[in-house]
Amino acid sequence: MEIKARIDLNSVAGVILALIAIFGGQILEGGHISALLQLAAFLIVMGGTIGAVLLQSPVKTLVNGIKMSKWVFFPPAGTARVLIKQLVGWAQLARKEGLLVLEDHAELVNDSLIKKGLQLLADGNNPEKLREILEIEADMEVSYQRQSAKIWEAAGGYAPTIGILGAVLGLIHVMENLADPSLLGSGIAVAFVATIYGVGLANLFFLPIANKLKSIINDQLVMREMLIDGLVAIAHGENPRLIENRLMSYCVIKE
């Protein structure tokens, strides 16, 4: 659902803790943070990973997956109770004034699934057909979101290997300059830091982002199921109080 988002403090704390642990450990070992900041290694790992993911996925899916990453820090807020209140209100209106009145309300919402559901109700479609159409719409949307989220899972698989590739490139650079000791340090640094970037980005960012998005998508699927059940109940002409009591069960699942 397209609903107001709030910041996820757990994600923020997780990122901060991970960075503190890595950079703090480097300092405690007597090293310098600047030793971990290697532009060449970063370009090899990030460029190679993005290229591999782009080869695997369509550009549209890649772009959508990047856009969805904001959910890690600003996930869709849990508004099951708000949605139930809306559904009950629409049920009361439909009982008093008829289903056609819901057509006006369809123009006031931004969520495509809600809009389509209200329009189908106003058009007088039978409950079975209503459920069929909305479930297809919801399944297609969820399927696309899951495909988009998988780009982060793919990045988590490719990054460590690209990091090893960067390490090999760094060692090649070292071997080419054995006669010049002044160039050995930078080559070795790129070799080791590229491996750190590959493994670190995969396990601290890419894979956690993928898993977080999967969890959020599953939560949204529950919301869609609740919405469809509510709209179908309105189509059946059920009592608004009965609809509310049944839909409140979804709050237990989601909360």
Torsion, Cα 204 210 214 220, to 10 degrees, reads 100
Would you state the pLDDT for residue 35? 73
Number of domains within the chain: 1
Would you state the pLDDT for residue 100? 87
pLDDT tens per residue across span 95-116: 888 888 888 888 888 888 999 9
Residue 117 falls inside a structural domain: yes
Residue 128 falls inside a structural domain: yes
pTM exceeds 0.85 for this model? no
Highest mean pLDDT (candidates 54-63, 75-84, 178-187): 54-63
Residue 34 falls inside a structural domain: yes
Residue 62 falls inside a structural domain: yes
Q: How far is CA 61 from CA 68, 146, 196, in A?
A: 10, 10, 28
The pair of three-digit structure tokens given for residue 204, joined into one six-digit string: 């601290």
Residue 38 falls inside a structural domain: yes
Residue 3 falls inside a structural domain: no
pLDDT tens per residue across span 163-174: 999 888 878 877
Which residue range(s) make up the domain with 148?
A: 9-254
Residue 2 falls inside a structural domain: no
Would you state the pLDDT for residue 1? 42
Across 170-190, average pLDDT:
71
Nearest CA to 35 out of 173, 178, 192 is that of 192
Residue 4 falls inside a structural domain: no
pLDDT tens per residue across span 126-156: 899 999 999 999 999 999 999 999 999 999 9
